[in-house]
Amino acid sequence: METAFSEYKINKGFYMAWQDDMVTMLRVVIDDNGSNPEYSNSRLEEVIVVAATMTKKDVDFDNNYTISVSSVTISPDPVTSSDNAFINLVTMKSACLLANSEYKTEAGRAITVRDGSSAIDNKGVAAAKKGWRDSICEDYSKAEKEYRIGNSQAGKSIIGPYGHFSSNQSNNTTRNRSSY
């Protein structure tokens, strides 16, 4: 069904580059690659759009984005607009949302069962998910703060080589809105 949905989007003319690049980046950040990924592309696109809506409320980006959760659209396309800060921050916020969801699910399953000398304890899984959630959400908070204080490469140190960065931007430049 994923392929048919993707073909439908391409044929209807509303397929955008962010749907490839940001979904791929998110998959790398949450380690959901491989032949049997946990999340479908359409589900990750939905999460990205929700994260974009939330991030846009907190951060003043150089571009004025129109985001529709119901239509799963972001316009203008942040990838073709080369808005690396938007791409990185929204990808990181998306990872935070997914990590929180996974933690909530595992916390609900965290039980300990003892029967005589045998025991089953899966609280460690929930604790590990909580640690990952706390880490990824803190990374997002740090990157958002970097952007707010003028670092146009927000999130670059966290997303690393999987990030979206123009080759003409140096690591130590400050944001200059007039150059966009």
The domain tally of the chain equals 1
Domain that holds residue 108: 2-161
The reported pLDDT for the residue numbered 1 is: 41
CA–CA gap between residue 164 and residue 55 (Å, rounded): 17
Which is more confidently placed, 142 or 114? Answer: 142
Q: For residue 42, tell me if it sits in a domain.
A: yes
Q: For residue 172, tell me if it sits in a domain.
A: no
For range 99-107, the mean pLDDT = 79
Residue 10: pLDDT band (50, 70, 90) is very low
The reported pLDDT for the residue numbered 170 is: 40
CA torsion angle for 84, 89, 90, 91 (degrees, to 10)? Answer: 90
Query: To which H or E segment does residue 112 belong?
Result: strand 112-115
The reported pLDDT for the residue numbered 153 is: 58
The reported pLDDT for the residue numbered 179 is: 40
Q: For residue 169, tell me if it sits in a domain.
A: no
Q: For residue 70, tell me if it sits in a domain.
A: yes
Q: For residue 11, tell me if it sits in a domain.
A: yes
Count of residues making up the chain:
180
Q: Give the model confidence (pLDDT) of 41-85 as tens digits.
A: 999 999 999 999 999 998 999 899 999 999 999 999 999 999 999
CA–CA gap between residue 31 and residue 118 (Å, rounded): 33
Query: To which H or E segment does residue 119 belong?
Result: strand 118-121
Q: For residue 71, tell me if it sits in a domain.
A: yes
Residue 11: pLDDT band (50, 70, 90) is very low
The reported pLDDT for the residue numbered 12 is: 44
CB-based contact 22:155 (threshold 8 Å): no
User: Which tokens hold the place of 118?
Assistant: 């045998």
Q: Give the model confidence (pLDDT) of 119-176 as tens digits.
A: 776 767 777 778 888 899 999 999 999 888 886 555 555 555 445 544 444 443 443 4
The reported pLDDT for the residue numbered 130 is: 84
The reported pLDDT for the residue numbered 109 is: 64
The reported pLDDT for the residue numbered 13 is: 53
Q: For residue 179, tell me if it sits in a domain.
A: no
- The CA-atom distances, in angstroms, between 153 and each of 64, 74, 179 are 19, 21, 14
